[in-house]
Amino acid sequence: MSSSVHLKARWMKINLSNAGKRFNREWIFRKANLEFNSSNSYAITGANGSGKSTLLQCIGGMLQLSEGKIEMTDDRWKMTDENGYKQVSFCAPYLDVIEEMTLIEFLEFHNQFKSFINNFSKENIIEIIGLQAAANKQIRYYSSGMKQRVKLAQTILSDTAIILLDEPCSNLDSKGIELYHSLINDYCKNRLVIVCSNDEVEYSFCEERISMGDLKR
Write out the chain's pLDDT in tens, 217 residues: 444 444 555 788 999 999 999 999 999 999 999 999 999 999 999 999 999 999 999 999 999 999 999 999 987 666 666 677 789 999 999 999 999 999 999 999 999 989 999 889 999 999 999 999 999 999 999 999 999 999 999 999 999 999 999 999 999 999 999 999 999 999 999 899 999 999 999 999 999 999 999 887 6
**Cβ-based neighbour number of residue 155 at 10 Å:** 21
Helix (H), strand (E), coil (C) string for 116-145: EHHHCCHHHHHHHCCCHHHCCCEHHHCCHH
What is the residue-wise DSSP string for 5-52?
--PPP--EEEEEEEEEEEETTEEEEEEEEEEEETT-EEEEE--TTSSH
pLDDT of residue 77: 66
pLDDT of residue 2: 43
Domains and CATH numbers, the chain: 12-215 (3.40.50.300)
The number of angstroms, rounded, from the C-alpha of 183 to the middle of its chain's C-alpha atoms is 12
pLDDT of residue 164: 98
Sign for the CA dihedral angle at 195, 197, 209, 83 comes to positive
Phi, psi of 68, rounded to the nearest 5 degrees: 75, -165
pLDDT of residue 16: 96
Largest CA distance in the chain: 51
pLDDT of residue 217: 63
- What's this model's pTM, rounded to 2 decimal places? 0.92
pLDDT of residue 6: 47
Cα 216 to Cα 186: distance, rounded to the nearest angstrom: 35
pLDDT of residue 84: 74
pLDDT of residue 1: 43
